[in-house]
Structure formats: C-alpha cells, structure tokens
Chain A
C-alpha cells in the first residue's frame, strides 16, 4: 500500500522553542494532507487540513499562529509547533490520500511524532 513517512518519530524540546514535523507521501501525490493530535488514551483530533499551494484550514479551537502548516509540494506538508509549551506535548499524526483516487477511499497515516516539551 501507499506510504506516508513522518519525521521525526520522537522529539524533545525546551519550552519556548519551535519544532518542525515533516509529512511526506512517498509514492503518490497528495494535494491535501491532514494533521491530527492524539493525547494518551484518547482518539485522534483533527487539527487542520493542509492544502498544497494555499493556506491551511484549521479546525475550531486550533490556533493557526501556533501551529504553522506549510504544504509546499504535492508530497510534503510540514507542521511547526511554535513557542512550544508542556501542554503541547502530544502525539502528532499526519495523513494523506492519493489525489488520483476517489475521495471515498482509505487514508494513509504517518507513523506519528511523539513531542515532549520540557
């Protein structure tokens, strides 16, 4: 099946610094990618939709100035957590669908990034 690669898989940063997470579709093109956050024992919460060549669309309650999303190519989206605080510590996961497929198809997920802010 299609592969979505997310990097890094684990990162520890100091409070107040910024962290960038990359999400790549390795063998397909994705005009749209999605970023989720998951706290322990909870489900995935959609944060934003990343659109290639245009601004991201954020879900209600997600601060767009804090979670910067860039989708510069058809295979790469990045999420930057700016001025990170301990409450931003979470598991961040991206997903993508093959642009060439119909909408009603499976989503491919990255392996996730465990962010710990100390």
Chain B
C-alpha cells in the first residue's frame, strides 16, 4: 500500500537559519504533492503544490523540490522566524484519485529566537 514518511522527530533551529523538512513516499508515482502547515488545534493550511513534471517551486521564503526518482520531496524555509513554528504536513493523492489526499505524520518545527 502507499506510504508517506516524514521525519517524526521535531526539528529545532535558530532564527534566521534554513529549515529543511523531508517527505518520502513509496509504492506509487503521484501526479503532484502538496505541503500544508498546521498549528495546534487548527485545520491544515495549504502552502505549496508541486507537480510531477516540476523539479522545484518557490513562494516567498518557501521552496519545495520534487524528485520522482528518489520518491522524495524537500521543503525549505529560508530565513526562518519564530512565527514559522508549526507542524508541516506533506500530502499526496492516493493512486491519483481526484480530490482525496493522504497525509504524512508531519514534522514539528520549532524556531528559537
């Protein structure tokens, strides 16, 4: 069955540094991959979508890469700020079924001032 794995250990970094989060998947080739941010007690908020034919996507201080050979996506936050502290989730459509998403377990990021 399809599996999504994110680094379950919390990531602690200093303000101003670049945070890099990893998402690995197995057992299929998704047409796209999405990253979401979730704050405690809140629903996820969409950040970026990257399609299978795209290697990299940027949005302000965020950058996502998508390596379909390695079956991996990297999510970078440059010049990190304490306000970036949250849990970051990657999500994929299961067997490319329209609309559905399955999520990784998320990586908790803590940015210290």
Q: Which residues from A are CB-within-8-Å of B100?
A: 34, 46, 49
The chain A residue sitting closest to B32, CB to CB, is A104
In the complex, whether A117 has a CB less than 8 A from a CB of chain B is: no
The chain A residue sitting closest to B6, CB to CB, is A43
> Which B residues from 40 to 76 make CB contacts under 8 A with A?
41-46, 49, 51
In the complex, whether A7 has a CB less than 8 A from a CB of chain B is: no
Q: Which residues from A are CB-within-8-Å of B102?
A: 46
Contact present for A44 and B89 (CB under 8 Å): yes
A110–B45 Cα gap in the complex (Å)?
A: 9
- How many B residues touch the partner, as a band? 20 to 34
Contact present for B99 and A43 (CB under 8 Å): no
Within 8 Å by CB of A108, from B46, B51, B89, lies B46
A103–B43 Cα gap in the complex (Å)?
A: 20
In the complex, whether A24 has a CB less than 8 A from a CB of chain B is: no
The chain A residue sitting closest to B47, CB to CB, is A106
> Which A residues from 46 to 104 make CB contacts under 8 A with B?
46, 49, 91, 93, 95, 97, 103-104
> Which B residues from 58 to 113 make CB contacts under 8 A with A?
89, 91, 98-106
In the complex, whether A25 has a CB less than 8 A from a CB of chain B is: no
The chain B residue sitting closest to A49, CB to CB, is B100
Q: Which residues from A are CB-within-8-Å of B106?
A: 43
| Whole-angstrom distance between the Cβ of B48 and the nearest chain A Cβ | 9
> What are 19 contact pairs spanning A and B, CB under 8 A?
A32-B99, A34-B99, A34-B100, A43-B103, A43-B106, A44-B89, A49-B99, A49-B100, A93-B43, A97-B99, A104-B49, A106-B46, A106-B49, A107-B34, A107-B46, A109-B43, A109-B45, A112-B42, A114-B41
* A-B CB proximity, top 4 nearest: A109-B43, A106-B46, A103-B98, A43-B105
